[in-house]
């Protein structure tokens, strides 16, 4: 049974905390009456601090409960009513606080608690460990009573904010050298908030711990993995093959000589790694839905810092970073879909961006176009894709080169924008970017 004195002390101490140093995030949510707001995402992306960042000047209007705190652990859904009573005794003038439930999966039948709070008119936020609270599980348990948002590691804009560097307007040019240096750090060590603020000598240790916990808790323990060796092999290959093609068939051919393995098991393990937000698998653009399913996919990591434990490559880091930024854009426009494109003759375009059924933009990533053969290859791929997909919005993201080129190759013509990565990430070069007041749920 809970100690009422401890509960009240917890509530008061939380409201007396100084939240002025909590840095804001770009994720914006829409509160809908009768629906909970669920914040999910990779481990250590900052979900708890995101809740703190939305507290206004009157934190006493919020009832924040961390269910992993010893005061509340273990707790049943029914026992939470005593927490509400304790809050109302402290603040009798506030009968309906905004309720924030952190690590809600620690409460058995937590969905009953959330539905009760919604039915009694409370505004509810909830977060949970990625090993316990997936988007599909929120939808299943709450049956349409929640809007789910994904919080990714820091965008480059947020990263600069965390490091105290202004980039907007003329400040971009004033801080240009510093921004370029920090872009190198962003690609090297990734974008987890704690890593962004950590001393350089501690970053790899923190990332290694993140990786170990992610795999152990979010994959091994959650799914009760038996073939640990196979999982380790897939992890090894992922860290060395990010921004490259992968398929269940190719992995099966590679591993079957050394392991007792089936294609189904490989497919399942890749799904588990996706669910844990360790990796993403990007489909090939094909007009036939069946062809999209069977084609090889491109593998991207949740954070480029994790590639320190594989085969680090700046070109692939840049492509991976562009993919993650596209995923953030999808948060503000859920009609966006992303694919890669490859022609039968071997021409490749990194990202085909669709809005609904319309191809909105073709994006190629090439960090250095100084070699004429490379330049011609990248431009030719875009022109071929432009012709086939009927899209004239063509972009190449580079490290430094900027401008617009009118290109004609083999009878095909097009205008291609060259955008430096820093500018594109900061919103100055992305034709896709649209900064709305609120972001749409998953």
pTM of the shown model: 0.92
Is residue 158 situated within a structural domain? no
User: Do 107 and 42 share a domain, yes or no?
Assistant: yes
pLDDT band at 198 (very low <50, low <70, confident <90, very high): very high
At residue 133, the pLDDT reads 75
C-alpha distance from residue 165 to each of 104, 183, 422 (Å)? 35, 12, 13
User: Do 29 and 122 share a domain, yes or no?
Assistant: yes
At residue 20, the pLDDT reads 87
User: Do 12 and 141 share a domain, yes or no?
Assistant: yes
pLDDT for residue 441 is more than 70: no
At residue 289, the pLDDT reads 85
pLDDT band at 131 (very low <50, low <70, confident <90, very high): low
Is residue 17 situated within a structural domain? yes
pLDDT band at 375 (very low <50, low <70, confident <90, very high): very high
End-to-end CA, the chain = 38
Looking at per-residue pLDDT, the higher value among 139 and 288 belongs to: 288
Structure tokens at 283: 């489909």
At residue 38, the pLDDT reads 93
Is residue 332 situated within a structural domain? yes
At residue 8, the pLDDT reads 97
Mean pLDDT of 391-407: 96
For residue range 65-101, list pLDDT tens digits in order: 999 999 998 899 999 999 999 999 999 999 899 999 9
pLDDT for residue 431 is more than 50: no
Domain count for the chain: 3
For residue range 336-351, list pLDDT tens digits in order: 999 999 999 999 999 9
User: Do 8 and 145 share a domain, yes or no?
Assistant: yes
C-alpha distance from residue 108 to each of 2, 67, 82, 111, 217 (Å)? 16, 11, 16, 8, 19
Is residue 178 situated within a structural domain? no
Instruction: Give the dihedral of Cα atoms 45, 49, 54, 58; nearest 10 deg.
Output: 180
At residue 74, the pLDDT reads 87
For residue range 245-301, list pLDDT tens digits in order: 999 999 999 999 888 899 999 999 999 999 999 999 999 999 888 888 889 999 999
User: Which H helix or E strand runs over 362?
Assistant: strand 358-365
Is residue 182 situated within a structural domain? no
User: Do 16 and 91 share a domain, yes or no?
Assistant: yes
At residue 181, the pLDDT reads 97
- Report whether 39 contacts 126 (CB < 8 A): yes
Is residue 11 situated within a structural domain? yes
Full domain range(s) for residue 107: 4-150
pLDDT for residue 435 is more than 50: no
pLDDT for residue 213 is more than 60: yes
- Find residue 358's DSSP bridge partners: 355
Name 420's Cβ contacts closer than 8 Å, sequence gap at least 6: 397, 398, 399, 400, 401, 402, 429
Is residue 163 situated within a structural domain? no
Is residue 86 situated within a structural domain? yes
C-alpha distance from residue 121 to each of 34, 124, 135, 435 (Å)? 7, 9, 23, 31
At residue 332, the pLDDT reads 81
User: Do 329 and 304 share a domain, yes or no?
Assistant: no
At residue 429, the pLDDT reads 45
Complete edge-to-edge strand list for the sheet that includes strand 412-420: 336-342, 348-355, 358-365, 394-398, 412-420, 403-409
User: Do 378 and 420 share a domain, yes or no?
Assistant: yes
User: Do 298 and 323 share a domain, yes or no?
Assistant: no
User: Do 274 and 306 share a domain, yes or no?
Assistant: yes
Average pLDDT in the chain = 92
User: Do 303 and 332 share a domain, yes or no?
Assistant: no
For residue range 155-179, list pLDDT tens digits in order: 999 999 999 999 999 999 999 999 9
User: Which H helix or E strand runs over 189?
Assistant: helix 176-189
CATH number at residue 208: 1.10.10.10
Residue 105: which of 78, 73, 79 has the closest Cα?
73
Out of 279, 312, 345, pick the residue that ends a domain: 312
At residue 430, the pLDDT reads 44
User: Do 145 and 36 share a domain, yes or no?
Assistant: yes
User: Do 380 and 295 share a domain, yes or no?
Assistant: no
pLDDT for residue 415 is more than 90: yes
Out of 312, 341, 364, pick the residue that ends a domain: 312
pLDDT for residue 439 is more than 80: no
At residue 138, the pLDDT reads 84
Residue 131: which of 101, 105, 102, 154 has the closest Cα?
105
pLDDT for residue 136 is more than 80: no
For residue range 296-338, list pLDDT tens digits in order: 999 999 999 999 999 999 999 999 999 999 999 998 888 999 9
Q: What span, in angstroms and rounded, lies between the C-alpha atoms of 167 and 149?
A: 27
């Amino acid at each position: 049974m809970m100690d009422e004195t401890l509960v009240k002390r917890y509530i008061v101490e939380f409201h007396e905390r100084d939240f002025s140093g909590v840095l804001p995030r770009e994720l914006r949510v829409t509160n809908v009456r009768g629906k909970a707001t669920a914040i999910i995402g990779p481990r250590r992306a900052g979900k708890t601090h995101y809740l703190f960042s939305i507290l206004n000047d009157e934190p006493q209007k919020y009832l924040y409960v961390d269910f992993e705190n010893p005061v509340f652990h273990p707790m049943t859904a029914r026992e939470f009513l005593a927490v509400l009573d304790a809050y109302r005794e402290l603040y009798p003038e506030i009968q309906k606080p905004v309720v924030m439930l952190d690590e809600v999966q620690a409460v058995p039948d937590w969905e009953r608690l959330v539905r009760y709070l919604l039915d009694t008119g409370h505004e509810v936020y909830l977060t949970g460990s990625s090993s316990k609270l997936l988007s599909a599980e929120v939808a299943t348990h709450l049956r349409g009573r929640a809007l789910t948002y994904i919080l990714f590691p820091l965008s480059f804009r947020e990263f600069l904010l965390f490091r105290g560097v202004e980039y907007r307007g003329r400040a971009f040019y004033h801080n240009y050298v510093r921004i370029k240096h920090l872009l190198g750090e962003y690609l090297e060590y990734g974008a987890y908030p704690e890593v962004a603020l950590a001393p350089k000598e501690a970053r790899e240790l923190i990332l290694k711990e993140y990786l170990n916990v992610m795999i152990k808790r979010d994959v091994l323990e959650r799914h009760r993995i038996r073939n640990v060796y196979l999982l380790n092999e897939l992890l090894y290959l992922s860290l060395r093959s990010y921004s490259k093609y992968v398929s269940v068939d190719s992995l099966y051919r590679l591993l079957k000589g050394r392991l007792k393995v089936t294609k189904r098991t490989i497919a399942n393990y890749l799904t588990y790694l996706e669910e844990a937000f360790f990796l993403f698998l990007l489909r090939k653009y094909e007009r036939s839905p069946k062809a999209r399913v069977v084609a090889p996919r491109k593998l991207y990591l949740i954070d480029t810092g994790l590639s320190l434990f594989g085969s680090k490559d700046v070109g692939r880091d840049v492509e991976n970073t562009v993919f993650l930024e596209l995923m953030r854009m999808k948060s503000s426009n859920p009609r966006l879909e992303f694919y890669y494109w490859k022609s039968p003759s071997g021409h490749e375009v990194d990202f085909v961006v669709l809005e609904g059924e319309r191809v909105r933009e073709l994006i190629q990533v090439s960090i250095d176009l100084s070699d004429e053969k490379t330049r011609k290859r990248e431009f030719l791929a875009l022109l071929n894709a432009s012709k086939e997909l009927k899209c004239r919005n063509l972009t190449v993201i580079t490290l430094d080169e900027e401008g617009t080129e009118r290109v004609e190759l083999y009878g095909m013509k097009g205008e291609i924008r060259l955008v430096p990565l820093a500018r594109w990430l900061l919103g100055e070069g992305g034709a896709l970017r649209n900064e709305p007041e609120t972001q749409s749920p998953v």
